Amino acid sequence: MVNAENTADGAGLTPRLADRLLAAGADVLTLGNHVWRRREIGPYLETSDRVVRPANLATSSPGRGLTVAQAEDGTDVAVLNLQGLLFMSTPISPFEVVDELVEEARAAAKVVLVDFHAEATSEKVALATWLDGRVTAVIGTHTHIQTNDARILPGGTAAVSDAGMTGPHDSVIGVRSELAIARMRTRLPVRFEPAEGDVRLEGVLVRCSDAGQADAIELVRIAA
Ligand SMILES: [Fe+2]
């Protein structure tokens, strides 16, 4: 499962890049608050069963937030994408919709993965705790900074506040540092460009039982 919301030059995802990530071995792609940065992704999401966007966007949005894919060994894996409410422009609270979606996911698969695309660690910890024992893993994305709190919760749900960023780490969360700093210092509009240096792959590896209960979560960090 790959969060792909900023694959297209640092903003959004195009159908061509989605196809490339899937061809490279990703089983499901998730998205986030930058989902609509590339208009052409809308029609693609209407027909794709491998690319999901946050489930709690405007109800008229194209695409969906839950899908079921098969792992390499044939195991059904449900993937649910949600977006946080705190410090983000999100039309529907994730807590308003999560229970029903988790029920739907569990009816379809024993292994359920949640990508919670959110800004605040408090909200991520709260959602993971609320879902403990009902899903296999709650993996945070969006902040681009890998957090040091990967853990198995008492009910058997793996959780981490943020899986980190695959991209240039010699940057301000992927943006050329001087541009990000200039915008913050001057408050003037500055066009962001992706940085290039110190590319790393970051993520998490979760191990679970056939019943979908997690027993290990490991932070992954690989320098190019
Ligand atoms: Fe994001």
Q: What share of the chain is helix, strand, coil (3-state, %, to 5)?
A: 25, 30, 50
Q: What is the DSSP string of 157-179?
A: -EEES----SEESSSBTTB-HHH
pLDDT on residue 217: 98
Q: Of 34, 117, 144, 169, which residue is the catalytic one?
A: 34
Query: pLDDT band at residue 144, thresholds of 50, 70 and 90?
Result: very high
pLDDT score for 136: 98
Distance 156 CA to ligand 1 centre (A): 27
Whether residue 34 lies in the annotated active site: yes
Rounded to an integer, the average pLDDT of 40-48 is 97
Task: Give the span between the Cα atoms of 4 and 31, in whole angstroms.
Answer: 6
pLDDT at res. 224: 81
Centre of ligand 1 from the C-alpha of residue 209, in Å? 30
Give percent of the chain with pLDDT exceeding 90. 99
Compute the distance between CA of residue 192 and CA of residue 163 in angstroms, rounded to an integer. 23
- The per-residue pLDDT for range 120-134, each reduced to its tens digit, is 999 999 999 999 999
Residue 33 Cα to ligand 1 middle (Å) = 5
The candidate with the shortest Cα–Cα distance to 117, out of 138, 147, 146, is 138
Nearest of 162, 171, 155 to residue 219 by alpha carbon: 162
The 10s digit of each residue's pLDDT in 75-84 is 999 999 999 9
The rounded distance, in Å, linking the Cα atoms of 204 and 200 is: 13
Average confidence (pLDDT) over 45-62:
97
Residue 93 has a pLDDT of: 98
Is pLDDT of 67 > 90?
yes
List, as ranges, residues with CB under 5 A of the ion ligand 1: 32-33, 142
How confident is the prediction for the chain on average, in pLDDT?
97
How far is the centre of ligand 1, averaged over its atoms, from the C-alpha of 84 (Å)? Answer: 10
| Element containing residue 114 per DSSP (H, E) | strand 111-117
Q: What is the pLDDT of residues 167-224, one digit of tens each?
A: 999 999 999 999 999 999 999 999 999 999 999 999 999 999 999 999 999 999 999 8
Sheet strands side by side (includes 214-223): 167-168, 199-208, 214-223
H helical segments located in the chain: 15-23, 41-47, 94-108, 121-131, 177-186
Altogether, the residues listed in the chain come to a count of 224
From the list 160, 184, 158, 179, the residue with the least C-alpha distance to 168 is 179
